[in-house]
């Protein structure tokens, strides 16, 4: 079953075609890497998929809802995490869960038990009443992700999720993503860091508003005779004619 | 010098590029002065007056005529009976009723004083006060003219004269007030914001690591705002002279000098704020709260310092705008010159030196 | 005389120790990397070296000048590019460069040749406001601004953060070029893969220097062998690996897991067999050459257990 399906999804700003006829599907539980240089159109495409921006033409369905007509339903069935942690620093871990649970319509009776469950999974029970601001960066990242999937969305969008953390924390973060994917949550991640693309089940590379390549990292590397995704990316992105965003 | 010019040019570009802020900075003084000058005027103009003339003599009619002729009062009704007064007020037909008692003229000429009863709509206390002063002066003038010289009255005839601002024009109060407020806003707020912005965006880091001396960075930042304030000073003065009919009665050089000192002081305050505030928003709030309110409330712009409780008067001494406004009033309205504002000038200069010293001491050439 | 000599620097912010006993030196004309995650102390170190911060303890000298006593002299010979590209967003490319040239008492016309290689990439956009540039172009402009006064030492704080891989690659090419002009460069980055592009690197974490060496030297220093493991279900494989008696640690590493075997472990084949016996499919376990990132993880692990 596909959680994301786009059909000739296009966004124009005046004469400028930011996103040009995207056609792709992402399956349930898949970890999908959405790559591209600055200005390639990643952010614009992701905004449309999150229901924050209306396509100029074409359609897309996210979690079964049309992104143009059923925006509210789309928003309820997705989770979102950006590089800038959307956590409240001056609230405790548990308070953040309660707050975001409430925002995303998790029944208030369920919030405490789900919070415990989530903290158990993170091995984080002892920090339940710690203020977020006193947590190390790696922990904040994991917490942000847990909050993004707290309402059990069908798909979670990660915008440059792991910048700046130490290598161990980064790996732990990806393990968390694997776990979510095992439980059937689709993960749609944008990133600049090609070594992260290697963790994805499949990855697409956008150049000048179009998807130039889409496959498993192994097959992409094979097709380009490259040792790493970084090389694949540079091969493709070099063809770009526009570079500004 | 070349370096300084390039700095100042950069600052000027920042201001010029931010069209909205620039318009605000240049338009605000005009808007404020027009607003204060016309809309929020405390002036009395065309107050509707009803007359209950029980005397019906020459003196009472003379006062009536004078009232009606002045641009501040308009006689709208002549009443026959005291019972008519209340309904009139309730319908809002008049805000002032003047009652001349029987035998008004005789009493005036004989005793040198006579009673006029004023019934005023106290929701507008200003009107009554102004009328009282005005009517007293008309009555006094009449009494003086019509008194046979031989029968010069014994005792003192109260002679109320409104000095400097005979028509009690609001603009006379507000022009100095707006000047005092605006300079602070433009200089203190904008300087502090622009310094804090450089810290926020990280460009200050690069400037501090450069061989340029910090004092140089600061001076270059201040220069365009100094210029802008001079433009504003000129606009406000032009508007007040040509639109609001508030002349610069005294020495213009004195006015300009005291304004320059005040602008410098405002710039120093801006610098001081920038050393305290961590973000642009904080800088704006600090300059807004710490300066605007005291200036409006305690500087004598809205409420005369003399009628404040002693404690507030004492506090108002520490508010630079108070001295500036006092000096501007002395020069613009009272028509005085340098000697008259020497005290204010000295106080403002002292404050400027103090704030510059504190600001420079607090201005970190390193990050913390 | 080394271009940079840092000894026992300590610096705290409140109860947080940003730097603890940091010492290293950088040779003239060296491209030296400070590699570490956010919070490792890289920015604090740069600020101390560029005289913006005072250390609590220890000394540092740039080109032989003490960062406290001779701050002014250092400010004349250092080019500093802070973490966020410190440009005036409302000024054009040209105006930014001209301004920073003037700040350092020179002009673009006089020193244009110093930045020509970099500046020509962005020159077509010279009338554009800096705020409207892409990350890669901002980075190049900021570097031009830092170079326009012919500094002898260049401090670059995370110049490649938030920049796409193509621009990152270009940027490192530019740095290699600058090094050939014998400018000493100290550059920080959170990306381990950029470490191999430096002459020497200091791996930093939590305010301390874990190791200073050439990239090759660091890799050589990895204790014992390293294996990579793949299977059809990578996530299940990870727990399978961690449960195995031969495995000391295992981490997801992109398309393969990296496994550090215990010292007494036999060979990869044995591990693969045991995994298949436990139901993992298409298992591949093979020896591999460790990367900088493996070394970093290994050092972090030792720090935790120590």
C95 shares contact with chain B (CB less than 8 Å): yes
Asked, for residue A244, whether it belongs to a domain, the answer is no
Asked, for residue A132, whether it belongs to a domain, the answer is yes
Residue C31: name the closest of C147, C254, C202 by CA: C202
Instruction: Give the span between the Cα atoms of A145 and A113, in whole angstroms.
Output: 18
Element (H, E) at C32: strand C31-35
CA-CA distances (angstroms) from residue B99 to A190, B62, B272? 85, 14, 59
Asked, for residue A110, whether it belongs to a domain, the answer is yes
Are C95 and B3 inside 8 Å of each other by CB?
no
A233 neighbourhood in chain C, CB within 8 Å: 165-166
Q: What was the pLDDT predicted at B160?
A: 44
Question: Torsions phi, psi of B72, nearest 5?
Answer: -95, -20
Residue B271: name the closest of B328, B176, B187, B340 by CA: B187
B367 neighbourhood in chain C, CB within 8 Å: 47, 52-53
Domain that holds residue A13: 2-237
Chain C nearest C-alpha distance from A18 (Å): 15
CA-CA distances (angstroms) from residue A92 to A89, A95, A122, C281? 8, 5, 16, 43
> With 0-12 CB in 10 A as exposed, 13-18 as middle and 19+ as buried, what is B159?
exposed
Considering only CB atoms, B211 lies closest to which of C76, C84, C91, namely C76
CB burial readout A151-189, b (16+ within 10 A) else e = bebbbbbbbbbbbbbbbbbbbbbbbbbbebbeeebbbbb
Chain C nearest C-alpha distance from A194 (Å): 8
Q: What was the pLDDT predicted at B280?
A: 85
Residue of chain B whose alpha carbon sits nearest to that of C145: B206
Neighbouring subunits of B (3+ Cβ pairs under 8 A): C
Domains and CATH numbers, chain B: 47-163 (3.40.1710.10), 171-367 (no CATH)
Q: What was the pLDDT predicted at B40?
A: 53
Per-position pLDDT tens, chain C of length 306? 889 999 999 999 988 899 999 999 999 999 999 999 888 999 999 999 999 999 999 999 999 999 999 988 998 899 999 887 789 999 999 999 999 999 888 899 998 888 888 898 888 999 999 988 888 889 999 999 999 988 999 999 999 887 888 888 889 999 998 988 889 999 999 888 889 999 999 999 989 999 999 999 999 999 889 999 999 888 889 999 999 988 999 998 888 899 999 988 888 899 999 999 999 999 999 999 999 999 998 888 776 554
Considering only CB atoms, C254 lies closest to which of A175, A199, A240, namely A199
Give the DSSP letter of residue A224: T
**pTM, rounded to two decimals:** 0.79
C86 shares contact with chain B (CB less than 8 Å): yes
Are A230 and C301 inside 8 Å of each other by CB?
no
Are A167 and C169 inside 8 Å of each other by CB?
no
Instruction: Give the span between the Cα atoms of C63 and B177, in whole angstroms.
Output: 56
Element (H, E) at B223: helix B214-242
- Low-confidence stretches of chain B (pLDDT < 50) are 42, 150-164, 166-168
Kindly state the tokens that stand for C306. Answer: 């120590």
CATH of the domain at A32: 3.40.50.300
B2 neighbourhood in chain C, CB within 8 Å: 102
C29 shares contact with chain A (CB less than 8 Å): no
pLDDT tens digits, one per residue of A182-197:
999 999 998 877 888 8
CB atoms < 10 A from the CB of B174, how many? 25
Q: What was the pLDDT predicted at B199?
A: 85
Element (H, E) at A33: strand A31-36
Question: Torsions phi, psi of B302, nearest 5?
Answer: -100, -45
Checking if the pLDDT of A41 tops 90, the result is no
C88 shares contact with chain B (CB less than 8 Å): yes
Three-class DSSP category at B90: helix
What is the share, in percent, of chain A residues with pLDDT greater than 70?
A: 97
- Report yes or no on chains B and A touching (3+ CB pairs under 8 A): no
- Over range A202-228, report the average pLDDT: 92
CA angle B6, B12, B14 (to 5 degrees): 105
Are B209 and C51 inside 8 Å of each other by CB?
yes
pLDDT tens digits, one per residue of B329-347:
888 878 888 888 889 999 9
More confidently predicted of B112 and A90 = A90
- Over range A163-177, report the average pLDDT: 85
**Number of B–C residue contacts, CB under 8 Å:** 78
Asked, for residue A242, whether it belongs to a domain, the answer is no
Residues of B engaging C, defined by a Cβ cutoff of 8 Å: 2-3, 6-7, 10, 13-14, 17-18, 201-203, 205-212, 366-368
pLDDT tens digits, one per residue of C161-210:
878 888 888 899 999 989 888 899 999 998 888 899 999 999 999 899 99
Question: Which of B209, B215, B224 best probes binding to C when mutated, by most C CB atoms within 10 angstroms?
Answer: B209
ipTM: 0.80
Q: What was the pLDDT predicted at C141?
A: 93
Instruction: Give the span between the Cα atoms of A63 and A45, in whole angstroms.
Output: 16
Contact A42, A24 (CB under 8 A): no
How many domains is chain A partitioned into structurally? 1
- Provide the sign of the torsion angle of the four alpha carbons C242, C247, C253, C256, taken in this order: negative
Q: What was the pLDDT predicted at B12?
A: 87
Asked, for residue A144, whether it belongs to a domain, the answer is yes
């Amino acid at each position: 079953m596909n959680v994301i399906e786009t059909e000739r999804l296009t966004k124009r700003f005046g004469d400028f075609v930011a996103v040009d006829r995207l056609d792709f599907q992402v399956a349930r539980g898949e970890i999908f890497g959405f790559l591209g240089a600055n200005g390639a159109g990643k952010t614009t495409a992701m905004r449309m998929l999150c229901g924050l921006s209306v396509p100029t033409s074409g359609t897309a369905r996210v979690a079964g809802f049309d992104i143009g007509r059923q925006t509210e339903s789309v928003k309820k069935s997705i989770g979102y995490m950006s590089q800038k942690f959307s956590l409240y620093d001056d609230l405790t871990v548990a308070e953040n869960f309660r707050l975001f649970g409430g925002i995303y319509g998790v029944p208030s009776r369920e919030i405490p038990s789900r919070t415990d469950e989530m903290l158990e999974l993170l091995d984080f029970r002892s920090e339940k009443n710690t203020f977020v601001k006193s947590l190390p960066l790696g922990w904040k990242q994991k917490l942000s992700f847990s909050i993004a999937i707290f309402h059990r969305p069908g798909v979670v969008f990660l915008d440059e999720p792991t910048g700046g953390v130490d290598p161990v924390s980064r790996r732990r973060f990806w393990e968390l993503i694997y776990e979510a994917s095992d439980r059937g949550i689709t993960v749609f991640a944008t990133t600049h860091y090609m070594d992260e693309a290697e963790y994805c089940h499949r990855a697409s590379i956008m150049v000048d508003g179009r998807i130039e390549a889409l496959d498993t990292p192994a097959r992409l590397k094979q097709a380009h005779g490259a040792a790493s995704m970084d090389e694949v990316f540079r091969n493709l992105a070099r063809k770009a004619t526009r570079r500004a965003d | 010098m070349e370096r300084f010019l390039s700095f100042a040019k950069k600052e000027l570009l920042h201001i010029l590029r931010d069209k909205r802020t620039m318009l605000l900075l240049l338009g605000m003084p005009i808007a404020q002065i027009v607003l204060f000058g016309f809309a929020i005027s405390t002036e009395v103009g065309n107050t509707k007056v009803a007359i209950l003339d029980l005397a019906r003599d020459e003196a009472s009619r003379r006062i009536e005529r004078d009232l009606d002729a002045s641009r501040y009062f308009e006689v709208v009704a002549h009443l026959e009976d005291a019972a008519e007064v209340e309904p009139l007020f309730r319908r809002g037909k008049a805000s002032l009723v003047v009652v001349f008692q029987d035998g008004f003229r005789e009493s005036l000429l004989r005793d040198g004083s006579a009673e006029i009863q004023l019934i005023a709509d106290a929701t507008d206390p200003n009107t009554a006060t102004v009328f009282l002063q005005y009517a007293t002066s008309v009555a006094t003038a009449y009494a003086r003219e019509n008194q046979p010289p031989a029968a010069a009255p014994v005792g003192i005839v109260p002679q109320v004269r409104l000095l400097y601002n005979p028509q009690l024009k609001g603009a006379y109060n507000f022009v100095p007030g707006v000047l005092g407020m605006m300079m602070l806003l433009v200089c203190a707020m904008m300087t502090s914001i622009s310094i804090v912005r450089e810290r926020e965006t990280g460009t200050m880091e690069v400037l501090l690591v450069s061989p340029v001396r910090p004092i140089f960075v600061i001076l270059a930042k201040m220069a365009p705002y100094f210029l802008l304030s001079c433009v504003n000073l000129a606009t406000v003065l032009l508007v007040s002279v040509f639109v609001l009919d508030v002349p610069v009665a005294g020495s213009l050089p004195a006015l300009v000098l005291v304004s320059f000192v005040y602008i410098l002081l405002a710039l120093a305050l801006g610098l001081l704020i920038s050393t305290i505030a961590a973000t642009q928003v904080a800088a704006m709030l600090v300059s807004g709260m710490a300066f605007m309110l005291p200036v409006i409330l305690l500087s004598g712009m809205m409420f005369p310092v003399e009628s404040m409780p002693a404690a507030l008067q004492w506090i108002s001494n520490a508010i630079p705008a108070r001295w500036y406004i006092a000096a501007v009033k002395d020069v613009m309205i009272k028509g005085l010159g340098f000697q008259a504002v020497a005290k204010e000038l000295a106080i403002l200069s002292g404050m400027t030196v103090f704030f510059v010293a504190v600001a420079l001491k607090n201005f970190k050439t390193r990050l913390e | 005389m080394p271009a940079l000599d840092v000894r026992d620097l300590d610096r705290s912010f409140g109860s947080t120790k940003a730097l603890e006993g940091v010492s290293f030196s950088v040779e003239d004309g060296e491209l030296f990397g400070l590699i570490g995650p956010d919070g490792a102390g890289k920015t604090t170190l740069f600020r101390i070296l560029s005289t913006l911060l005072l250390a609590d303890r220890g000394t540092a000298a740039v080109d032989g000048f003490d960062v406290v006593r001779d701050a002014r002299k250092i400010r004349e010979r250092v080019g500093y590019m802070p973490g966020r590209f410190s440009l005036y967003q409302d000024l054009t490319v040209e105006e930014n460069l001209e301004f920073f040239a003037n700040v350092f008492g020179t002009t673009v016309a006089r020193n244009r040749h110093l930045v020509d290689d970099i500046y020509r990439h962005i020159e077509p956009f010279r009338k554009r406001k800096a705020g409207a540039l892409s990350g890669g172009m901002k980075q190049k402009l900021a570097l031009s601004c830092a170079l326009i006064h012919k500094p002898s030492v260049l401090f670059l704080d995370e110049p490649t953060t938030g920049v796409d891989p193509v621009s990152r690659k270009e940027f490192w090419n530019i740095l290699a070029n600058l090094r050939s002009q014998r400018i000493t460069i100290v550059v920080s980055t959170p990306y381990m893969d950029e470490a191999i592009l430096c002459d020497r690197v200091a791996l930093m974490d939590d305010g301390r220097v874990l190791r200073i060496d050439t990239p090759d030297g660091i890799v050589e220093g990895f204790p014992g062998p390293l294996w990579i493991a793949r299977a059809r279900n990578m996530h299940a494989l990870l727990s399978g690996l961690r449960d195995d008696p031969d495995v000391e640690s295992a981490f997801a590493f992109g398309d393969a897991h990296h496994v550090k075997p215990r010292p007494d472990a036999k060979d990869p084949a044995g591990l693969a067999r045991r995994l298949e016996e436990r139901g993992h499919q298409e298992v591949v376990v093979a020896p591999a050459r460790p990367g900088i990132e493996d070394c970093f993880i290994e050092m972090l692990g030792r720090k935790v257990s120590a």
